[in-house]
Structure 1
Amino acid sequence: MAVKHVEIERKYDAAADFSVPELTVLPGVADVSAPEAHRLHATYFDTADLRLAAHGITLRRRRGGTDAGWHLKIPAGPDSKNELRAPLGRAQVVPGRLAALVAAFARGEPLRPVATLETDRTVVRLLDESGGVLAEVADDAVTGTVLDGGGAPDAWREIEVELAGGDRELLKAAGKRLRKAGASRAASASKLGRLLNGQLPRPTARETAERARSATAADHPTAGDAVVAYLAAQVRALLTYDPKARLAEYDAVHRMRVATRRIRSVLQSYRPLLDRERTDPLRPELKWLADALGEVRDLEVLRMRFTERVEGLDAIGEPAWLAELARQERSAYRRLNAALKEPRYYALLDALEALVAEPPLTRRAGRTAQSELPKLVVRAWGRMAASYEGIAAADDPETARHDTRKDAKRARYAAEVAVAVLGEPATRTVRNAKRLQEVLGDYQDGVIASDHLKAAAARAADTADAFSLGVLYGIERCEAEAALERLEGTWASIPAPAF
């Protein structure tokens, strides 16, 4: 079983004769513990082409120190990483749980030793007045060797400050103190990253997103710049939430599904700017992934929704039908995890990263974003408006409302692409499309929930369960009808885009 830990730290390069300054002057620090010395040996695992390292991920097996074992570190934000740990186990066999969490990056390639680090570490702890640990400061003398690289070992000194009970102000103050004493902020966020400098593969979606985002901030970005920036951010989000979804973390499946839908929607809304021979084949694959994520998400939403409702009824214990829903959700998670191991998924990720690394832009994409994006946002809005107007005459109003909701999402995502360039008018369009989407979503959620409750009631063998299901059914139907009553007024209050 992998144990999760959030690591918040900063690293600093230091010369061999560097002296760690007095640290009791830092805010909130009352004392510094006696130093402890450790000899650490770490073997780092990656694919042959360093796919994990390219995404800032490290996977190692470390002996020595107070936390010997397998460590998987995944970037989680500025100066922070999600760290998952597992026991030492076998030296050359990555624990299956950790291997699964990096499957979206390894994509079927075997994980093998790529480097070793020998570290002589001296640790002191920064303590508050009650003796609580605020942070750990590690003074590391490191010798790193790239396996099969044929080069000489690399040696350096590094100071690492990791928060425990302290806050980021302490982290900032410690860094300022160390820099004043002669240290400098480390160029790499990890020791492995420093050792492998210059050996990493082509830019990742994260790096492409940063470059494209810089382009959209320029005075005259092209339409293609804006679309690539948005797509790269969504591919990055997809990869960020992949391991979280595998761990069934709260809202991870939802966010991964939204990123998938955004990519698919933008590939359609911005087709005039993209080579359709490359982008059209991606859309059914993205739908396949969204559907796999959707099965889990829909059950997750129902479970959370009904759990809250049941608690509001002061029910005693968990009803059998709600427990059954939770079992269905767990089964859906297992199917999702199986889908995320399929070559089909890895091929889709490869194609998406290639899409943002070498975007298939048309000649029209080279025009200015200011001139092109408004046209395409207005076109997406027009499709949404036509869908809404068609509800009244539709033979199947339920399907027509559902289609309108999908078109509202598409208009919203199309406008999101333009926000970095067009500013407030695009933001307002996003907001207005979202308003319509949410009203239709409230209605649809109520209908889906009431249909589920009705089916569960037909199977209920317990009188108390049948009663609670009936009460909840009435609540859901009322909320669905209330949402439907808001629909016309919401639409009337939403102006068309104005750029």
Structure 2
Amino acid sequence: MADTKREIERKYESDDSGLPDLTGVAGVANVLDKGTAELDATYHDTSDLRLASARVTLRHRTGGSDAGWHLKLPVAPGIRDEIHAPLSDTLPGELAGLTRSRVREGSLVPVVRLRTARDVQHLVDADGTLLAEVSVDRVRAERLFGGSGKAQWTEIEVELADGGDPAFLDKVEKRLGKAGVRPSKSPSKLARALSETKGAKPRTGQPEPAAPGTAGDHVMAYVRAQRDAIVELDPAVRLDTEEGVHDMRVATRRLRSTFRTFGKVLDRKVTDPIADELKWLAGELGLGRDQEVLAERLLAALAGVPAALVHGPVHDRLRDWAEAGERGSRSRLLGVLDSERYLTLLDTLDALAAAPPLLKAAAGDPEKVLTQAVRKDFAKVTDLIETGMAQPPGHERDLGLHEARKKAKRTRYAAEAARPVLGGPAKALLKSMKSLQTLIGEHQDSVMARETLGELSAVAHAAGESAFTYGLLYGREEQRAAAVEAEVPKAWKDIKDEAPV
């Protein structure tokens, strides 16, 4: 079973003089010599270095206290999530899955071998608590695939102790700087090895567009950003991080909205089938998430009901309903991410990014083209709000406001894509659409809550239980929806009066 930890470290250039005295670092009471470790690591990647291009590293290492397979995923400069699995001859399935959005149908091969003599010291405080591990690494690198050659160097690595304050690394860096030690130019040992041996080098970002400044350039910049987000969030979804599923789902929605909003820039005969696949993926991502969010809402509402008004096993029935939705959703989602359909979608998005289906308007003035598209979306929101609120309270109004919410979200994403061109007005529209989306979203959440309460009430009644509390919760949800409906006209009037685009 793989373990995950957050790694916060900094690397520095070093020479034969070794490590400067660090006893003067504020907070350090002692520097403990932990001896020398001999490490032997083989790094794996595709033949075209897809992992290294994304600053992802995958290695099989012997020696030291954490021998095994290590996958490191970038979080921010100097911060990576490290997933560790025990030693084995073949790559563990969990780590293979975490690289699949980049490797896809490709093969992993050994590309670099690093043999390191590591002199380790621990910086501890007055209580003996570890603050950071500092090592002087004498590295010998050998290219194994896609090139040839060897390289060697010495570097200093400072890794913050688990749960430590990152500001402590600033203190260490200040002390190292006074001793003439400078930060490394390479983000990792692998990056330096690939740079200093002959052969293929990792790609660095997207090439500059041939005609910078067109409407098509700006729309495609947004499309590529969402494509990148889906690929980068894949490991987070597999690791079941708190926001991984939500953020990937948002990226799919942004793409679908962009295809529809900018249909005069990108040919919808090409993008519509892709949008259908993105809708499928968003649906799979939302299967467990939507029920989880709704369950949290209902359980929170139940917690606000006085005990004397809770008749029957309402809490247990709500909890069982929530758990039933969770069961199987995790394994199903992992199956989706490993499916040929999903991997084909990623390939299709890559192909779209490389050769976008641009129409005539793509070559036009970006301010004019993007403004027209955003205004068209805003006009649709206006029609839906006014039509929805003209309906009497009930099902038809619920449907109208739900459609208005979806169009407000689409307008928000359109403003987001147009912001680099339109600046402040797009930012203001984005903010107002987000506010409207949140307001009407509360209404839609109430609609879904009432539907669920009605179903649970029927089940409880059939089991001979009291349905009183379900009816009480239903009535409160009706009141919440009515409050939103009363607020919508004024909120929308304010938005229209201040419409910046």
Per the normalisation by structure 1, the TM-score is: 0.89
Q: Is the 8 A contact 2:12 2:182 kept in 1?
A: yes
Q: Name the counterpart of 1:225.
A: 217
Return the offset for 1:298.
0.8
Change in 2 beyond 3 A, CA 1:273/1:187: farther
Match of 1:141?
138
Cα deviation for residue 491 of structure 1 reads: 1.2
Counterpart of 1:185? 183
Assess if the C-alpha contact under 8 Å between 2:47 and 2:146 holds in 1: no
2:273 to 281, 288, 311: 281
Secondary structure of the 1:391 match is helix
- Counterpart-to-counterpart distance in 1, 2:389 and 2:476: 26
Report deviation, 1:5.
0.3
2:374 and 2:411 in contact (8 A); partners too: yes
Given the alignment of the two structures, is residue 236 of structure 1 paired with residue 228 of structure 2, yes or no?
Answer: yes
In the superposition, relative to structure 1, how do residues 311 and 42 fare at CA in structure 2: closer, same or farther (>3 Å)?
farther
Amino acid of the residue matched to residue 66 of structure 1?
A: S
RMSD: 2.7
Match of 2:487 in 1: 486
Change (3 A) 1:159 1:53: same
Residue 138 and residue 375 in structure 1: after superposition, are their counterparts in 2 closer, same or farther (change >3 A)? Answer: same
1:61 aligns with: 60
Provide the residue aligned with 1:262 in structure 2. 254
Q: Which residue of 1 aligns with 2:500?
A: 498
- Structure-2 change in CA distance of 1:208 and 1:296 (3 Å): farther
Q: In the alignment, which residue of structure 1 is the partner of 2:377?
A: 380
Change (3 A) 1:355 1:36: farther
**CA offsets 1:40-88 (integer angstroms, 9 cap, x no match):** 1112223333222221111222211111222111111221111111222
Q: Answer whether contact 2:18 2:136 (CA < 8 A) is retained.
A: no
Please give the alpha-carbon distance, in whole angstroms, between the structure 2 residues aligned to 1:464 and 1:248: 36
Q: CA deviation at 1:192?
A: 1.6
Residue 295 in structure 1 maps to residue 287 in structure 2:
yes
- Which residue, 322, 328, 331 being the options, matches 1:331? 328
Q: Are 2:45 and 2:52, in contact at CA under 8 Å, matched by a contact in 1?
A: yes
Give the 3 Å change call, closer, same or farther, for CA 318–186 of structure 1 in structure 2.
farther
Query: How far does the alpha carbon of each residue in 1:215-240 deviate from its partner, in whole angstroms, 9 at most, with x for none?
Result: 99xxx943333323322322232223
Indicate if the aligned counterparts of 2:120 and 2:135 stay in contact, CA closer than 8 A.
yes
Contiguous gaps of at least 5 residues in structure 1: none
Residue pair 2:3, 2:83 contacting (<8 A) in 1 also: yes
Deviates more, 1:225-234 or 1:119-128: 225-234
Go from structure 1 to structure 2 and tell me whether the alpha carbon gap of 1:228 and 1:311 turns closer, same or farther (over 3 Å shift). same
In 2, Cα distance between equivalents of 1:312 and 1:109: 53
Residues 404-441 of structure 1 show CA distances to partners (whole Å, capped at 9, x for unaligned) of: 11111111111111223322211111111122222221
TM-aligned CA distance change 1:188 to 1:362, over 3 Å: farther
1:146-174 deviations in Å (ceiling 9; x for gaps)? 22345122222121111115423222333
**How many residues end up aligned between the 2 structures?**
487
* CA offsets 1:439-491 (integer angstroms, 9 cap, x no match): 22111111101111211221226677845434333332322222222222221
Code of the aligned partner of 1:97: E
Amino acid at match of 1:478: Q
Q: Once the 2 structures are TM-superposed, how far is the Cα of residue 248 of structure 1 from its aligned partner?
A: 2.0
**TM-score normalised to structure 2 length:** 0.89
Q: Which moved more, 1:34-43 or 1:275-284?
A: 275-284
Q: Is the 8 A contact 2:45 2:51 kept in 1?
A: yes
Alignment of 1:90-105 (within 5 A): 90-91=88-89, 93-105=90-102
In 2, Cα distance between equivalents of 1:188 and 1:296: 41
- Segment drifting more, 445-454 vs 350-359: 350-359
**Is the contact between residue 22 and residue 31 of structure 2 (CA under 8 Å) also seen in structure 1?**
yes
Q: Which runs of 5+ in 2 are unaligned?
A: none
Structure 2 distance, partners of 1:60, 1:119, is: 14
**Do the aligned residues in 2 keep the contact of 1:37 with 1:122 (CA within 8 Å)?**
yes
